Amino acid sequence: MLSRSSGILLHPTSLPGRFGIGSLGAEARKFIDWLSESGQKTWQILPLGPTDLSHSPYQCYSAFAGNSDLVDLDELVEIELLQAKDLVLTKAFPLESIDYHSVRKFREPLLHKAFLRFRETGGFGWDNYRQFWSENSWWLESYSLFYACRKNLKGKDWSFWEESLVLRTEESLNLYYRTYREDVEFQRFLQFVFFKQWFALKKYANNLGIKIFGDIPLYVSYDSADVWTNQDLFLLDKKKKPVKVGGVPPDYFSETGQLWGNPLFDWEELKKRDYDWWIARLHFNLHMYDLVRIDHFRGLESYWAIPYGEKTAIKGEWLKAHGDAVLKILQGQIGHLPIIAEDLGTITREVHHLRKKYHLPGMKVLQFAFASGADNEHLPHNYELDFVAYTGTHDNDTTVNWLKTVKGEERDHLRRYFGVSVVDHWKMIRLILSSVAQMTIIPLQDVLGLDASARTNTPGTIVGNWQWKLASQENLKEQGEKLKELTDLYRR
C-alpha cells in the first residue's frame, strides 16, 4: 500500500537545458530541490529508453537501454572527457520547445569526442566500467550491436538486413561486431555514462526523501534490439513481420481506436521459458526506480490484437495474456510489488481482479470525471485508497486548456460538482489533493497553469508531440509555496 503523498509528473527531457533539452545534470537536481521544498514526495517520469524518430518514450530501440539525449554534457567536462570550450554555443536553442534534429546535431559529435577520450585514457578497463559491463552485458551486448548495425545498414528496420544477421548466426554477429566495433563501443560508453548519471541522480532524490516513479510500456517497438534478439518471443511470420499488432479499440481519445503497431508477445513461448524476459525486465525497472507504472496494464490480462496492415484499430480481437503468471513469479521473488497499474479506459472485471489480487494501485484522472453521472469512477467521491489520482496525464490536455474547451453537460456537471460558476486549475488540484486516494500526481504544466502549447502528447497524432520544454525554473517558487500549503493542509 502506498503512503499518503503527492508528486509531480515531468519527463526529464522537459527540464530547462541550455543545450536544447533537459538532462540528468544540475537542472534535474534543482528540480528535485524544488520538489522537496514544495512538500512533494514523488517525481513521476516517462520511460527513459532511446527513442525512435517519433521521439516518443513509448517507442524505443530497447526496453533496457537509456536515452543518451539525457546525458549531461557539463558532467563530461567535470570528469575531463570534454573541455569547457567544447560546450560554447554559436546559436541558442529554443527555450520552450525541443528541436530534436538540432539537439542531436550538436550533441552527437561531443559525445563521440568524449568517447574517444574515454577510450584513449583506458576507460574500458576502469573498474566501474568493468562492473557495469558485468552486470549489464546480458542486454547491452545485443543492444550495442543492434544500434551499430542500424546506423550503418540503411534498411528500414532489422528485418531488411542480410538473412544471416536477421537470424543472428554466430558467424554473422562476430563479423558485424568486428566491422562496426567503434560504433558498438561508442554505444556501450553512452550506456555506461547514462546509468552512472542516472543512479547518481536517483540517489540525490532519495536522500531528500523523493521517490522516483518510473514507467514501463507494455509493448516494445518492432524496430528494437528486444525483438531482433528474442524473435521467438513475439508473434512474427516467416518473413519476420508481425502477424498482429497492438493497440486499443475506439475510446475516449479516438473514435477509430489507437493503432500502436507494436508486435505482440507469444505468451505460450514465454511460458516455456518461465517468462524470463518479462521477469528480467521488471527486475531491471524496479532497480532503476522506486516504483513503476505498467502502461496499458489491461494488456497483461487480455490485449487487443489487430491484423498487421490494418489502417485503424477498429478491426481486432481480445486475446488472453499471461500477466497473472508473471506477477505471481515476481511476487514470489520480491514480496510486495511496488507497481502501479495504468487501468484507464474500458476495464473488465478480470482486469480489476488481477490488479487487486496483487494489491496494485490503479489510476484516476479528474479530467475524465464529468462526462457522465454521479457514478463516474473518476469522481473523487468514488475513489478508494488504492489509487493514484491525477488532474491529467501526459496524454491529456493541460488542465487550463481543458477547462477552456469543456462544453455542454460536462461543463455543467463540473460547475455543479465544485459548487461555483468558475473552476480554475488550482481548484482541480485542490480536489484531488483532498481526496482519499493514497497518492496524487500533478503534471507540472498544471501547477504552472500553462495552456495547450505546453501539452506533452496528443494520442493518435504524430506531429508536435514530446517537444514541450520548461524555459526556466525561476518561476517555480511561488507555485511551489502554494503547492506546499495545500500538501500540508491535506496531509500529503
Residues annotated catalytic, as ranges: 295, 342, 395
- For 103, other C-beta atoms within 10 Å of its C-beta total 18
Rg (CA), the chain: 23
- Distance CA(147)–CA(228), nearest Å, equals 11
- For 416, the grid coordinates are 455543479
Q: Which residues of 372-408 are buried (b: 16+ CB within 10 A; e: fewer)?
A: eeeebbbbbeebeebbbbbbbbbbbbbbbbbbeebee
Q: For the purposes of burial, counting CB atoms within 10 Å of the CB of 483, is it exposed (0-12), middle (13-18) or buried (19 or more)? A: buried
Instruction: Name the β-bridge partners of 42.
Output: 7, 211
Q: What residues contact residue 439 under an 8 Å CB cut-off, 6+ apart?
A: 2, 4, 5, 6, 7, 42, 361, 387, 388, 389
3-state helix, strand, coil in the chain (%, to 5): 45, 15, 40
- Distance CA(346)–CA(341), nearest Å, equals 14
Q: For the purposes of burial, counting CB atoms within 10 Å of the CB of 327, is it exposed (0-12), middle (13-18) or buried (19 or more)? A: buried
- Distance CA(86)–CA(172), nearest Å, equals 38
Pick from 467, 484, 447, 413: nearest CA to 95: 467
Residue pair 25/204 in contact by the 8 Å Cβ criterion:
no
In the block, cell 541550455 appears at 18
Question: What SS3 class is residue 217?
Answer: coil
Residue pair 339/294 in contact by the 8 Å Cβ criterion:
yes
Q: Is the C-alpha dihedral spanning 432, 433, 439, 442 positive or negative?
A: positive
Pick from 230, 245, 233, 247: nearest CA to 298: 247
Within 13 Å, how many C-alpha atoms sit on residue 284's CB side? 23
Taking CA atoms, 398 is separated from 221, 254, 444, 452, 455, in Å, by 27, 18, 9, 6, 6
- DSSP code for 86: G
Per-position DSSP letters for 311-334, written without gaps between them? SSSSS-EEEE--HHHHHHHHHHHH
Instruction: Name the β-bridge partners of 365.
Output: 390
